[in-house]
Amino acid sequence: MPLSSHGGGPKPSLTVDFHRVPKQSLIDSHHVNEIPNKRACLESAHPPSSTHEQNGAAELRELDFFPRENIPLREAPAFANLLKEGRVPSDVNTDLQLSSTGSEQSMEEENEMDGEKISWFEEARRKIAEQNKELVALRGFMCDINGRGSPPLSGEDDDDLIPKRMHDINGGGTPIVPPPPTINGCSREVVAREEDANVEEVRVAFRDRSEASLIPDGWRWRKYGQKGKPPRSYYRCTITSTCLVRKQVQRCAQDKSILITTYIEWNHDHPLPPAAMPTASIISEAASMFLSGSIPISGGLIIINSTSPMMPRCRPIMTTISFSARCPTVTLDLTEYPDPPPQFHAPAQPQSAVPPLFSRLVYYEQQPRTERGAMAPSCSEGPHNPDDVARIVTDLILDNPKFKIEMIAVVKSIISEARQQGGGS
DNA sequence: CGAATTTGACCTGCGC
DNA sequence: GCGCAGGTCAAATTCG
Ligand SMILES: [Zn+2]
């Protein structure tokens, strides 16, 4: 079935967009106050099975996806390995799993779930929740060293400006958005482009070590293109012909053993296949983390996450958030690296001006993976002051051209803001 | 033989 | 305006 009459060109489109919002809010720091309300985002990211549409707006129950209890976490192997080895239960069903299909069955399964089944998913979920807290802390820190007041954090009662598209980020399998009624007769590209022009798109990427060219994530994908060197492959979800979800797969330029899988427009218009639920939940969680107010500053910034002081034994995930591209991307780095030595375990630096995020960063700099190339240890202690942070960032810039580009964007935006506020000096 | 992949053409957006 | 990069399309080819 041809999706369009001819390739790539301008085509007539007739698209109904249910959730149009301006594009500015996530990038422009002046709109940092308009970060979406966390609760609303979480609700929308994981709608309960009872969700139903009324006049185009989903009616949602409140769900707490970031539980406050701090349960020690076990080591969690890399994502691909778990999937490969079948150790990620395909039928994991937690409060995040809200599929409309087989809800009775899932109730039973929930009762039957043993610790083994839920452990991996719960670990990942809690890690991301912890990252969220730390990202918020980092944002405050960055605002401080920028000489700006810390923007209000999420959770305030102002959901007027929630990017409506984020209501579509669907981890539970219940279609929130009706399929575009007019997709027949115009290509997915046209539909996507129409939406792109009006709504914010969040991408969620995984970095993981994998020899396979594709992570078995439980979805059905069809390859529709390949570009560049090293090659980047383009896939789209083929569970339904109208589903707009795509993913890109490429090898890391610096380390060919690392596979980067990026999920785009994560709003399937169909129920989740059971095998895909772990992946879907993590993607949704990561997206809601981004949307819940963890935006550090304007421009672009890479954040490196550490273990949480509350959960020092948790294997860390390095998380980056990029704003420099047209679409912000949350990257979860699931490549493994060694545990930090005890001095980097929490409570790390109780008097430190630097959020605990950077203790991991410093450790990481001290213990670089061989694949990352030679990198001189940058600090012998945790970064107690912004100077240490600056040194670390400098090393990262030297090590990673992409980081340099991101940081340039950050600096530019800070300078332009300072000029606006301070009269151009 | 139908489904999936490959691959060159084509389009859009962006920087210079 | 031009060139480049990213992304998509669809005919041709390969695969099961
Ligand atoms: Zn889909």
Q: How far is the CA of A352 from the centre of ligand 1 (A)?
A: 45
| Interatomic CA–C1' length for residue A409 and nucleotide C3, angstroms | 23
CB burial of A305-328 (b: ≥16 within 10 Å; e: otherwise) equals: bbbbbbbbebbbbbbbbbbbeeeb
Please report which helix (H) or strand (E) contains residue A224, including its range. Answer: strand A221-227
Return the ∠ at Cα A77 (arms to A315 and A98), rounded to 5°: 90
Answer yes or no: is pLDDT of A245 > 90.
Answer: yes
The confidence score (pLDDT) of residue A134 equals 59
Provide the mean pLDDT of chain A.
52
Instruction: Specify the amino acid at residue A263.
Output: Y
Residue spans of alpha helices (H) in A150-224: 188-196
The confidence score (pLDDT) of residue A250 equals 92
Tens digit of each residue's pLDDT (9 = 90 or more) over A292-327: 654 343 334 444 443 333 334 444 556 666 654 467
Distance CA(A403)–CA(A306), nearest Å, equals 18
Distance CA(A105)–CA(A329), nearest Å, equals 35
Distance CA(A379)–CA(A389), nearest Å, equals 10
Tens digit of each residue's pLDDT (9 = 90 or more) over A26-64: 323 333 333 333 333 323 333 333 333 333 333 322 323
Question: Among A266, A254, A265, A263, which residue's Cα sits nearest to residue A209?
Answer: A254
Question: Among A395, A387, A388, which residue's Cα sits nearest to residue A365?
Answer: A395
Q: Can you tell me whether residue A351 is helix, strand or coil?
A: coil
Q: Is the pTM of this model over 0.90?
A: no
| Interatomic CA–C1' length for residue A231 and nucleotide B5, angstroms | 14
Q: What is the ipTM of this complex?
A: 0.95
Query: Ligand 1 being an ion, which residues bring their Cβ within 5 A of it?
Result: A 237, 239, 243, 245, 268
Please report which helix (H) or strand (E) contains residue A207, including its range. Answer: strand A203-209
- Among all strands, which nt has the closest C1' to A264 (CA)? C7
| Interatomic CA–C1' length for residue A193 and nucleotide B11, angstroms | 12
Question: Average of pLDDT values for A143-155?
Answer: 38
DSSP annotation string for A307-328:
-BTTBTTSPP-EEEEE-SSSS-
